[in-house]
């Protein structure tokens, strides 16, 4: 389904009772960056989970993924608007990958909209040159990743095989990546190659205006924060998660020893438990 918020159409999916407190999950490329098992576990734990597609992905508004006419701040405003659209109580905001960057800025710029924050496999600076104290993408893995020939983005099976090969390089499960790519392909209305490429690699963020920096503002955050990071993450090595946990006051770091960039289903219960423990949900009077 879709919902209008902040003047944009967003693809959304609901889990759990809509009367329960809201957990709003920003996808890294699409909403499917958040595993079904994790969303279902949070719903069983008494939360109303809404995962959604960022602009230019999935079933959200798509214009020109190669030249976005919006900024990271606009994506953060989208998150706040979606939270308000679904519940008059502050939400638990969660972001994975580039969605975690959106979540950091949203929590800083719209603190009244959020009661807790979960950041998964992300870092405290925008795409592009990394700060000297943060580990950059693994050079060998990135060399292999970007040396690959792009598939025919209009060919479902070719896109799925490309995603599986990418997963092998990054240390994720290739079969899970293959199935996920097929699901993303099936639910993306546009057949524009640029859209599917953005869904696979988050390429839209390379062209996105992310100024000004927000890392120096992280100590301003006062909401309960959970940082989740895969120990084998080659795209955003674990030092990025460690820096986030250090710079956000009181943040808890949960390291998934057997995870890379994606949250494996085997780790979903641990992440669910940590998220539920982070924010004991208020009850509606």
pLDDT tens-digit readout, 162-216: 999 999 999 999 999 999 999 999 988 766 665 666 666 566 677 789 999 999 9
Report in angstroms the alpha-carbon separations of 179 from 33, 39, 161, 173, 265: 12, 18, 9, 10, 13
Residues 67-90: pLDDT tens digits? 889 999 999 999 999 999 999 999
List helix spans (H) across the chain. Answer: 36-44, 72-86, 98-109, 139-146, 156-170, 174-186, 193-201, 239-247, 268-278
In the predicted model, what is the mean pLDDT of residues 121-144?
Answer: 95
Peptide bond into 110 cis (omega under 30): no
For position 65, what pLDDT does the model report?
78
pLDDT, greater one: 32 or 196:
32
- pLDDT at 272 exceeding the cut of 60: yes
pTM: 0.95
**Residue ranges of domains in the chain, CATH in brackets:** 2-128+191-278 (3.40.50.1820)
For position 192, what pLDDT does the model report?
65
Q: How many residues would you count in the chain?
A: 285
In the predicted model, what is the mean pLDDT of residues 124-148?
Answer: 94
pLDDT band at 29 (very low <50, low <70, confident <90, very high): confident
- pLDDT at 57 exceeding the cut of 90: no
Query: 15 in helix, strand or coil?
Result: strand
């Amino acid at each position: 389904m879709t919902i209008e918020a902040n003047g944009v159409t967003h693809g959304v999916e609901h889990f759990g009772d809509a009367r329960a407190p809201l957990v709003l999950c920003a996808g890294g490329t699409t909403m499917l960056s958040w595993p079904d098992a994790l969303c279902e576990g949070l719903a069983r734990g008494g939360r109303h989970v809404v995962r959604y597609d960022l602009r230019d992905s999935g079933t959200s508004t798509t214009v020109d993924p190669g030249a976005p006419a919006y900024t990271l701040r606009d994506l953060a405003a989208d998150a706040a608007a979606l939270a308000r659209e679904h519940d008059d109580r502050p939400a638990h905001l969660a972001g994975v990958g580039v969605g975690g960057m959106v979540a950091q800025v949203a929590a800083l710029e719209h603190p009244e909209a959020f009661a807790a924050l979960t950041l998964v496999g992300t870092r405290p600076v925008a795409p592009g040159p990394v700060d000297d104290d943060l580990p950059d993408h693994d050079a060998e893995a990135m060399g292999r990743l970007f040396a690959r020939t792009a598939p025919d983005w209009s060919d479902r099976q070719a896109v799925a095989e490309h995603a599986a090969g990418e997963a092998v390089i990054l240390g994720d499960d290739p079969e899970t990546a293959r199935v996920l790519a097929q699901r993303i392909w099936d639910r993306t209305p546009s057949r524009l190659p640029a859209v599917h490429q953005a869904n696979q690699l988050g390429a839209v963020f390379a062209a996105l205006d992310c100024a000004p920096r927000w890392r120096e503002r992280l100590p301003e955050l006062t909401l309960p924060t959970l940082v989740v990071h895969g120990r084998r993450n080659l795209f955003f090595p674990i030092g990025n998660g460690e820096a986030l946990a250090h710079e956000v006051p009181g943040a808890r770091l949960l390291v998934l020893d057997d995870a890379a960039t994606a949250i494996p289903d085997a780790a979903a219960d641990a992440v669910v438990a940590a998220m539920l423990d982070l924010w004991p949900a208020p009850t509606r009077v």
